[in-house]
Structure 1
Amino acid sequence: MKLKLKKWMDYYVGGLLIAMLRPVVILLGILLRRDHTLDLRKSLLFIKLQGGGSLVIAYPGLLALRRKYPEIKLRLLTTTALKPFAETIGVFDEILVLRDHSFMSLFASAGYCLLKTIGTDTCIDFEVYSRLSGVFTLLTLARNRIGFYLESMFWRKGLYTHLVFFNRFSGSFNFYEQTVRLFGALPANHSICREHLKKQLSLPAACAASSSRRIVLAPACSELGRERMLSVDQWRAFFQRRFTTGPYPEFIFVGTHQDLDLSRRLEMELKAISPEIHTENHCGKFPLQESLRVIAQADEFWTIDSGLLHFARILGVHCVSFWGPTDPQTRLKPFDEVSEEVYYKKIPCSPCIHVTEEPPCRGNNVCLTLLLRGRGIDRQSEVPLPVFLPHSRSS
């Protein structure tokens, strides 16, 4: 199923179901007077359906909860795309997968997952914007149902027993971690997360030294917010600024099969700078964990706002990242142990992803273009703001 259809279903079908269920839930809450004390009993279900990077951002909190309550069964409801992320962080006892490649498979798998999770003691919904995740949370009949709210909590009241404010302009890690603090778990520090992740990846205590400097480059991201990606021209501008003379490092590309065309074009750009630059392209060849093993052995990791970046930061690799449609302060938790270069220039229309339904530039990411041109912008009036004009037919 395409992302646009999934969003449509979530908004309209989810909205209809909430309107139907909410009055009944409020009435039953008054009549039943269930005990909503915040303690964990037997099982805890997390829901995360979009954005593997967000699951990694929540890693310190999830690991803390796992360590504090080893006897509690932790389960995750997620999608096929996020399953590798969940398996990699290694904190869940069971991962339930919604197969969302078609409507029928989604409906069937949702029914199966609901039967498996009805009666769970506590459910934490990590989806900030989804309506259907709220409906699923409610249908589990969990004693405690914890979720987020944004500017308004009207539609979420009743669906959840406890609501945590989610400020889109602050670090998202704060709010994921707040949900586990409700149960007395303090987020794990960077060194604990790093050692746990290295164990999950079966990495040696020290990586073997390489004869040449190695840079791993992941130029793409998921379909959720492709505006985050740099174009070939934008990458070329950074390459030319970074490399004026040799010796040149070795470049290794990682990503999915969909990233292969872009990575090959970037290989050509690097060869145009110097034929001496050696490249390897593993896009579409490696599963997530193997790509992370490659990143762990690199000297540097270059990327955009992506899930791989959050893994690389935990692994302690020097990271170079580019931001524009998203604000790094809302995604990157400060770690003293992390060495990184973060490229971001605040302009009035940034951030736009997760703030507006469709970015005003329609993918022509002005923020990244201005950043890589190296223009000194000190006053908002100097920024040519994109204007969103809806498509219309001529009269």
Structure 2
Amino acid sequence: MKISTMRFLDRLVGIPLCAMLTLWHRAVRLVAREHDAPVRRILFIKLAEQGSTVLAVSAIQRAIAMVGRANVYFMVFEENRFVLDLMDLIPPENVIAIRAEGWLGTFANTIAAVRRTRGLRIDAAVDLEFFARSSAALAYLSGAGRRIGFHGRGAEGPYRGNLMTHRLRYNPHLHTSETFRFMVDAIELDPTDLPAVPFAPAKTGAEPPPFRPASDELERVRRIVADAAGTESFRPLVLLNANCSDLIPLRAWPRDRYLVLARRLLASVPDLHIAFTGAPVEGPAAERLVQEIDSPRCFSLAGRTTLRELLVAFMHADVLVTNDSGPAHFASLTPIEVVALFGPEHPSLFGSRSPRSHILWAGLACSPCVSALNNRETPCRNNLCMQHIGVDAVHELVLRLLGEGARAGRSSKVGGAPQPERAVPLVQVTWPPVGEAIKR
């Protein structure tokens, strides 16, 4: 199901549903258990956005420390569960996956998921979906005596009823990983004291657990890449993720920039290969890019791999260039260097904290324009924030990363002429922050 469809349903169905559940709750005070009962089982609800699931690693680890690995559950759409399976933080059987199969099918699968959570006798439900109404309703219907989530006060955030026992105030100055961790810590707070919180947010710089595919899987995907490249010697390899999900189309970097970047990289590094990645539906667009570049060292992997195989392909590559999207985050599970291009959202909130993540952000006065408080929606239709990220800056950064990889023995020798000076600085965001700037 498309994100745009889910948002429409979240408004059309979610608002009246949350209102009715709120009235029901006020009338009968029907809760599974009181909030001061011991917490033995914790449920996370994060239906969409694979990248944000990676940012929840510290929160999941904190929940495991509280109740044990076997007692932590996660509700997610089936299409997004693969990230949880890759990280292997909780048992696979503890992932409550909802299959999106049209309106009626999704509704039936959601009811089945609710029945399962109620049968598990969940003690605490942590709603990681910020201000979505559907997740608020699911948290309430789970039967959990403690329901932790964000509650809009005044003009802060969209309406989602009054279904949480622990009503938190969303802090737009915390990194998302810190926000998710703080929500788990809030389980132990007295809800009558909220939204005041007596502690500082825990620092969450820890990397997610590394992805470790089997040797036969590594070889199978290496063969896929070699067949697409037409050669066994495809290293060094740069992957370009030129697509953008329909979640926030404004995240996309202009198509012509990828063309120019690919041509410059191929000219700068004589033995470099470049591959475009993407879902099967994006295969034709990726092939057109390859045809326009017209180089035997440029090929497409779009539609040739599953999402899991794409992560294995990351382990056969040196650098990934992508917009702010799922691959920018789950690539942190692998050794690949990532150049992530940010625009409508702020990297200090949603950027990966992996030391292999290198973020470029123009930092225009209008950016960021989407946030949890406006339900990730904006009237902007002209993403100047992405257009102001020039090819020169990305080209320079990729060459530097390839050079560092060559010195570490990961790829071949990198060359190329020095690039011209640019006038307007781009902020390069790294973790930990170093305040470095790259001229554009």
Shorter-chain-normalised TM-score: which range?
Answer: 0.7 to 0.9
- Give structure 1 stretches of 5+ with no counterpart: 379-395
The secondary structure found in structure 2 opposite 1:190 is coil
Report matched runs for 1:60-71 at 5 Å.
60-66=58-64, 69-70=67-68
Cα RMSD of the aligned pairs, angstroms, is: 3.3
**How far does residue 229 in structure 1 lie from its aligned partner after superposition?**
1.6
Supply the distance in 2 between the matched residues of 1:198 and 1:358 (Cα, whole angstroms): 33
Does the 8 A contact of 1:319 with 1:340 survive in 2?
Answer: yes
Deviations 1:221-266 (A, max 9, x none): 3321122122321223434555553424112333211221232233
**How far does residue 373 in structure 1 lie from its aligned partner after superposition?**
6.8
Q: 2:389 corresponds to which letter in structure 1? A: L
**How far does residue 155 in structure 1 lie from its aligned partner after superposition?**
4.9
Match of 2:246 among 223, 232, 252: 223
The secondary structure found in structure 1 opposite 2:250 is helix
Deviations 1:43-75 (A, max 9, x none): 222111121111111123223433554354222
The secondary structure found in structure 1 opposite 2:96 is strand
Match of 2:328 among 309, 312, 317: 309
Determine the structure 1 residue equivalent to 2:211: 198
Supply the distance in 2 between the matched residues of 1:65 and 1:210 (Cα, whole angstroms): 45
Does the 8 A contact of 2:262 with 2:274 survive in 1?
Answer: no
- Note if 1:345 corresponds to 2:347: no
Determine the structure 2 residue equivalent to 1:236: 259
- Note if 1:258 corresponds to 2:281: yes
Q: 2:206 corresponds to which letter in structure 1? A: H
Determine the structure 1 residue equivalent to 2:404: none
Supply the distance in 1 between the matched residues of 2:125 and 2:322 (Cα, whole angstroms): 33
The secondary structure found in structure 2 opposite 1:343 is strand
Q: 1:105 corresponds to which letter in structure 2? A: G
Deviations 1:60-95 (A, max 9, x none): 322343355435422222113212222222223322
Supply the distance in 2 between the matched residues of 1:104 and 1:366 (Cα, whole angstroms): 39
Task: Name which of structure 1's ranges 82-91 and 101-110 shifts more when overlaid on structure 2.
Answer: 82-91
- Give structure 2 stretches of 5+ with no counterpart: 189-200, 223-231, 393-421, 426-440
Does the 8 A contact of 1:121 with 1:142 survive in 2?
Answer: yes
Deviations 1:6-36 (A, max 9, x none): 222211321112222213313444x989531
Task: Name which of structure 1's ranges 364-373 and 349-358 shifts more when overlaid on structure 2.
Answer: 349-358
Supply the distance in 2 between the matched residues of 1:322 and 1:48 (Cα, whole angstroms): 24
Supply the distance in 1 between the matched residues of 2:114 and 2:31 (Cα, whole angstroms): 22
Determine the structure 2 residue equivalent to 1:79: 77
Does the 8 A contact of 2:19 with 2:161 survive in 1?
Answer: no
Determine the structure 1 residue equivalent to 2:397: none
Equivalent residue pairs, number: 364
Match of 1:370 among 388, 393, 408: 388
**How far does residue 190 in structure 1 lie from its aligned partner after superposition?**
3.4
Does the 8 A contact of 1:63 with 1:187 survive in 2?
Answer: no
Cα 1:211–1:259 change in 2 (3 A) is: closer
Does the 8 A contact of 1:64 with 1:186 survive in 2?
Answer: no
Cα 1:182–1:254 change in 2 (3 A) is: same
Supply the distance in 2 between the matched residues of 1:32 and 1:240 (Cα, whole angstroms): 61
Supply the distance in 2 between the matched residues of 1:68 and 1:294 (Cα, whole angstroms): 35
Q: Identity of aligned pairs, percent?
A: 24
Determine the structure 1 residue equivalent to 2:147: 145
Supply the distance in 2 between the matched residues of 1:183 and 1:356 (Cα, whole angstroms): 24
Q: 2:110 corresponds to which letter in structure 1? A: A
Query: TM-score, with normalisation over the residues of structure 1?
Result: 0.80
The secondary structure found in structure 2 opposite 1:224 is coil
Does the 8 A contact of 2:182 with 2:202 survive in 1?
Answer: no
